[in-house]
Amino acid sequence: MPVQDRVITYSDAGVEALREEMRRDDTIVYIGQGIGPRGGNFRQTKGLWKEFGDDRLRDTGICELGATGVAIGAAMAGTRTIVDEVFLDFALEAITQIIQQAANISYMSNGKIKAPVLVRGAMGAVRNAGAHHSHTFYNWFANTPGLKVALPSTPYDVKGLFKTALREPGPVVFIEHKSLYNSKGIVPEEEYLIPFGEARIVREGKDLTIIAMSRMVDLASKAAAALAEQGIAAEVIDPRTIVPLDRKRITNSIKKTGRLVVIDESPSSCGFAAELLAIAAEDCFRDLREAPKRICSLPVPNPFSPVLENQMIPSVDRIVSDVHKMMKN
Amino acid sequence: MTERVAEQIDHQLLLEHYKKMLELRVFEVKVQELYRNGMLPGFVHLYVGEEAVAVGVCSNLEPADLVFSTHRGHGHALAKGVPAGVVLAELWGKVTGSSGGRGGSMHMYAPEYGFMGTNGIVGAPIPLATGGALSAKLRKKGQVVVSFFGEGAVNSGSFHEAVNFGAVWDLPVVYVCENNLYATEMAFSRATKNTSVASRGDAYCLPGVEVDGQDVMAVHEAAKQAIHRARKGGGPTLIECKTYRFVGHHEGDPGTDYRTRDEVQQWKQRDPLKCSRKLLLDSGVDEKELQAVDQEVESLIDQAVEFAQGSSEPLPGSVNDHVF
C-alpha cells in the first residue's frame, strides 16, 4: 500500500525521479560537474552514481560550454541527456549551445532531429552568495522558441515535473531553487507525472489572484495566510511550467477575482511578471477592477550584504503591504 | 607536398574522388550563378577550392556514420551523400529541401544520410560532434563521427573543451580542420602564435596529423587511418588539412582585401580538380572517359536545379510547425 504522507526533501524528490527514469530508460545519461561519486553540490544526484556508474553519471571538469554542447550533440544522435550546470548562473558559459543549437534544432531540421536534453540548474538567492551565484533569469529561456521551462516549487512538483521532463521529445530547462533544496513536503513513493502546462491552485480565494513562481510561491502562500486573517481571500497560483503556460487557469482566476498581483524574484523590467500582466490586459481587460501589480526584486545585482539582499528581494511583508494598498482602492 | 607518381595511384579510387569533387565544384559554381542572379535568398559560403577535404574524408565513411559540418558546408553534405537537388532546394527555401526550407545554407540537416547539419556558429558543432560520438560509443553502434571545422574555430573555447572531452573519454570522433588560412578576413598567423593546428593534438594527448588538403588521395589515406582507429575504440585524431578557398568568405566578398591576387593564383595552381585530372590523364585514363564523367556531373547538377526550381514554397500557415 502506497505511503501517501511520506515527507522527503526537494533534492531527494529530484533524486527519486531521476532514479525511476534512469531505470525505466537506459539511454539516459547525466553529465555535469561533481554529479558522480560526490552526489552533486546540492546533493541533487545523491546515490545515483553507485547504481548507474561512470558511463551514465559522467563527471566533467569545469567546462559548461563543452559539457552542454556534448550533451546536446548526444541528444541529437539518440541519447537522452541531462546536463547539470549546477548553478543556473553557469549556464551563461553554455548559453550559445542552449539557445542557438538545442532550442533551434527541431525547427531548423524540419522536425527531423530532436534534442531530448534536460538542462538543469539551480537559481536564486540563498545565504548571501553574491551577484555571481544568485541569478534568476528563467524568463530569458522562456523568451526563446523551442525551449520548455519548468520551475518546481515543492518536492511533489520536483518529482512529477522531472519525470515529465525526461519524456519530452525536445529540450527542457529545469530550474530548481537553491534555497528550496532542503525544504520538505509530501511525495508519494509511487510513480506519478505532472503534465507540463498545468498550473497549480495553491490556495483558493475570491478577492485577488497572486501568481508566483519557484521560491516566491512559499512567500505568496505565507502572505495569503496573513491576508486571510485580515479578511482578504487571496487565490495563489503556481504556473509550475512557464513554457508551456496554463493561460486558461490563470485567466479564469483573474476573471474571477478582478485583481492580479505577480511575485517574481527577477527584476520587473521585461520579465515574466510583465508577461503575466500583459496576458491579464489581453484576456481579462474588462474583468480587472484594479491595475495589476508586480512585486519583483529590485533591479540591482544581488548584493552580498544580508541587509541589502533582503531589501532587494520580495518579502512577505512587502506582499501584504502592497496587497493592502490595492484593496483599499 | 610530394609529387604523386601516376603509377602508384589507385586509379579507380581517384576517378571516383574526381567525380565527387567535380559534383561539389559544379554545384557551388551553379549556386554562385543563381545567387548572383538574385534567385536564392539569404547568403552562402562556397566550398570552391576545398573539395579534396570533404571528398577525401567522407569517402571513408559508412552511411550510418555522422558528419557535423560548418557554415561552409554544402560540400560536406554532398560528400556524405545528400542528393544535390535536396541541398539546392534547401538553399532555395523550398519544401523539398533537406530542412523543408526552414534552415537554409547554414542550418541544413539530413540525418537520413548521417548528415547532422551545417552550422551558423563557428566552433559550436565541435562539442555537438563530440556528443554524437559519446552517443555512438554508449549505443555501441560502431558509428564514427567526423567533426569538420575551419582554422578559425581552433582559437575558440568550443574547440578546446570539445577536443578535451573527445580525448579524455576516448570517443570515436575524427576532428578535421580545414585550414584555409583565413577566418573570414583574419589571417591565422595574426590570430595565433601556434599556426600548426596538428601540433595542438599534443595538448590533448591525441595524434595530430598534417596533410595536404589539395591532395585528395593524401586526405583519403589520413582519414582512413583516423576513422579506422576511432572505429576500433582507439579514440580521436586531429587532422589538419592545408587548403584554400578560391572564392571570398561569403558570396559577395571578393576575398582580395586581405589576400593578394598572387597568393590566390598560386593556390589555384593546386586546384584539387586540376591536379587529380592531370594525374588521371598521366596515368593513362582516356580523355574521353573523363569528358563523359564531366558531362554526367553537369547533367546531375542541371537536374538538381530543375528539381529545386520546380519545387514548391512552404505554405505560410506551416510557420509554427516543428518548434518543439
Q: What is the DSSP letter of A125?
A: -
- Amino acid, res. A198: E
CB atoms A146 and B324 under 8 Å: yes
Q: Which residues of chain A have pLDDT under 50?
A: 1
Q: How far apart are CA B3 and CA B275, in angstroms?
A: 10
This prediction has a pTM of 0.96
Identify which of A73, A79, A113 has the shortest CB distance to residue B139.
Answer: A79
Whether residue A112 and residue B109 make contact (CB cut-off 8 A), yes or no, is yes
Q: Which of A:96-155 have CB within 8 Å of B?
A: 96-97, 100-101, 104-113, 145-146, 148
CATH, domain range B6-309: 3.40.50.970
Q: For chain A, what's the residue count?
A: 329
ipTM of the complex: 0.96
Nearest residue, CB atoms, A73 vs list B102, B131, B324? B131
What pLDDT tens digit does each residue of chain B (324 aa) get? 456 776 678 889 999 999 999 999 999 999 999 999 999 999 999 999 999 999 999 999 999 999 999 999 999 999 999 999 999 999 999 999 999 999 999 999 999 999 999 999 999 999 999 999 999 999 988 999 999 999 999 999 999 999 999 999 999 999 999 999 999 999 999 999 999 999 999 999 999 999 999 999 999 999 999 999 999 999 999 999 999 999 999 998 888 899 999 999 999 999 999 999 999 999 999 999 999 999 999 999 999 999 999 999 999 999 999 999
Q: Residue B219 gets which letter from DSSP? A: H
Q: Which residue has the cell 559560403?
A: B45
| Cα–Cα dist B93/B21, whole Å | 25
CB contact under 8 A, B130 and A70: yes
CA distance B193 to chain A (A): 24
**A329 reaches B (C-beta below 8 A):** no
pLDDT of residue A4: 63
Cβ-nearest to B127 among A69, A81, A110: A69
Asked if A78 has any chain B CB less than 8 Å from its own CB, the reply is: yes
Residue-wise pLDDT tens digits, B55-104: 999 999 999 999 999 999 999 999 999 999 999 999 999 999 999 999 99
Best probe of the A interface among B66, B118, B134, by most A CBs < 10 A, is: B134
Distance of CA B99 to the CA centre of its chain: 19
Q: Do B158 and A65 touch (CB under 8 A)?
A: yes
Which of B69, B138, B164 best tests the A interface by mutation, with the highest count of A CBs <10 A? B138
CA distance A208 to A261: 8
Indicate which of A105, A109, A113 best probes the interface with B, i.e. most B CBs within 10 Å of its own CB: A109
Q: Hey, which bits of A65-207 come out as E strands?
A: 81-87, 117-123, 148-150, 172-177, 184-186, 200-203
- Report which of A6, A5, A32 is spatially closest to residue A18, judged by C-alpha positions: A32
Cell numbers standing for residue B310: 520546380
Residue A244, preceding peptide bond in cis (omega within 30° of 0):
yes
pLDDT at site B164: 98
Q: How far apart are CA A78 and CA B301, in angstroms?
A: 33
Strands (E), chain A: 7-9, 29-32, 57-59, 81-87, 117-123, 148-150, 172-177, 184-186, 200-203, 208-212, 234-238, 241-243, 260-267, 293-297
What pLDDT score does B1 carry?
Answer: 46
- Beta-carbon contacts of residue B236 (< 8 Å; ≥ 6 apart): B133, B163, B166, B167, B170, B171, B172, B173, B174, B175, B206, B230
Q: Would you state the cell numbers that stand for residue A298, as one nine-digit string?
A: 529590485
Answer yes or no: are the C-beta atoms of A305 and A130 closer than 8 Å.
no
Contact B127 A72 (CB under 8 A): yes
| Each residue's pLDDT tens digit, A260-276 | 999 999 999 999 999 99
CB contact A55 to B (< 8 Å): yes
Least Cα distance to A20 among A187, A197, A196 occurs for A187
Q: What is the pLDDT of residue A1?
A: 46
Q: Would you please indicate which residues of A are annotated as catalytic (active-site) residues?
A: 133
To the nearest whole Å, the CA of B134 is away from the closest chain A CA by: 6
**Is-contact B281 B287, C-beta < 8 A?**
yes
Q: How far is CA B3 from CA A203, B40, B131, B209, B307, in A?
A: 81, 40, 38, 19, 41
Torsion on CA atoms A197, A202, A208, A211, rounded to nearest 10: -50
What DSSP string runs through A43-62? STTTTHHHHHHHHHEEE--S
B96, B161, B318, best to mutate vs chain A, most A CBs in 10 Å: B161
Handedness of CA A36, A39, A40, A46 (dihedral sign): positive
| Residues of chain A contacting B131 with CB distance shorter than 8 Å | 69-77, 81
Is residue B158 within 8 angstroms of chain A, CB to CB?
yes
| Bridge partners, A251 (sequence order) | none
Find residues 26-85 of chain B whose CB sits inside 8 Å of chain A: 66, 68
Domains and CATH numbers, chain A: 7-186 (3.40.50.970), 200-328 (3.40.50.920)
Q: What residue ranges do the domains of chain B occupy?
A: 6-309
* B136: contact with A, CB 8 A cutoff: yes
Alpha-carbon gap, residue A298 to A296, rounded angstroms: 6
Element (H, E) at B212: strand B208-212
Instruction: From chain A, pick out residues whose CB is under 8 angstroms from the CB of B93.
Output: none
**Strand-pair category, A7-9 with A184-186:** antiparallel
- Alpha-carbon distance of A133 to B61, in angstroms, equals 45
Q: Where are the alpha helices (DSSP H) in B42-95?
A: 51-58, 74-79, 84-91
Q: Which three cell numbers stand for residue A268?
A: 520587473
Residue B88: is it exposed, middle or buried by C-beta count within 10 angstroms (0-12/13-18/19+)?
Answer: buried
Cell of A172: 527542457
Chain A residue with minimal CA distance to B117? A109
